[in-house]
Amino acid sequence: MAKSHLAAAYTYQPSENIIITNEIEKWHLEGLFDQSIDVVRVPKYFSEQDAQEIANKIKRSTFFGSYVNAPKIGRIGQAFFECQNDEVSLSRYLEFAKTWIKERRKEVSPFISPIDRLRLELDEVWPANCNLAQIFDHKLFAGLVREFKEDSYAEPHNDVLSWDLVDEMDTGITNQLTANVYLETPEQGGELRLWHEWPQSQAEYNAIRIEGSYGVKEDRLNGNYLEITPEVGELILFNPTRIHSVEKIVQGSRLTWSCFIGLENHNKALQIWS
């Protein structure tokens, strides 16, 4: 069994507000939304054996492919971010949203889909429940699967849904979290970095953006970050409106099943999407 990094991560950054818990609670979500909590970690959300079996099943999916411009990153599904100013991509996203969800559910049977499980648990702890996000009367997709192979990584960046909306799109979402279930983790590399920077506007973000890329220039950041080494089967939640990145995979692969959790206000249902 792989050596646990949980205790090391916590003692390495004792000043950081990292919650390690057996289950998600309402106050965890509120703390992540208001930035008083940095990370919530739920180790063994799935056992290592179950995580590996789910990973094996999902990688056999006929929907499993790679990004055209990033062949070392495999995926199932599509991120809403990719639909910016692209009516064809948006139409495809809305058309296949339910199919991607239903097919993933079938392919991992008899296991529960990690995002189905998360949605049920969020629905139970949040007073106003939890639903799939919706645009133009269309339910959005939730449950993007990504595999980072050796030498792949994610540039420092942030995720803000309102920056991805165009024309008359509106969800009411004002804040969001990221949820990642780690089905496989690399033997070396692939650490999650959470930078201590929260761009307040798209203009501020674009001022440090790498030309032609989604990411920002690391040398324009202040150099302060919290680093997390995920465990197999673990659920990790954080607020992605802060700058975050994934370190280069040196050996092995990183397979996650993920979604965003959106907040409109504390009296309304949470909304999830990818």
Q: What is the pLDDT of residues 231-255, one digit of tens each?
A: 999 999 999 999 999 999 999 999 9
Q: How far apart are the first and last CA of the chain?
A: 31
In angstroms, the CA 246 to CA 191 distance is: 6
Map residue 73 onto helix, strand or coil. strand
Confidence category of residue 91, pLDDT binned at 50, 70, 90: confident
Q: What is the pLDDT of residue 31?
A: 96
Domain 6-11+21-264 has CATH 2.60.120.620: yes
Mean pLDDT of all residues belonging to the chain: 89
Q: What is the pLDDT of residues 40-61, one digit of tens each?
A: 999 999 999 999 999 999 988 8
Question: Lowest-confidence range among 87-101, 161-175, 214-228?
Answer: 161-175
In angstroms, the CA 270 to CA 86 distance is: 27
Which uninterrupted H or E stretch holds 254? Answer: strand 254-263
Confidence category of residue 145, pLDDT binned at 50, 70, 90: very high
Confidence category of residue 8, pLDDT binned at 50, 70, 90: very low
Place of tokens 């920002």: 216
Instruction: Please spell the DSSP secondary structure of 189-235, one letter per residue.
Output: E--EEEES---SSHHHHHTTBPTTSSSB-GGGS-S-EEEE---TT-E
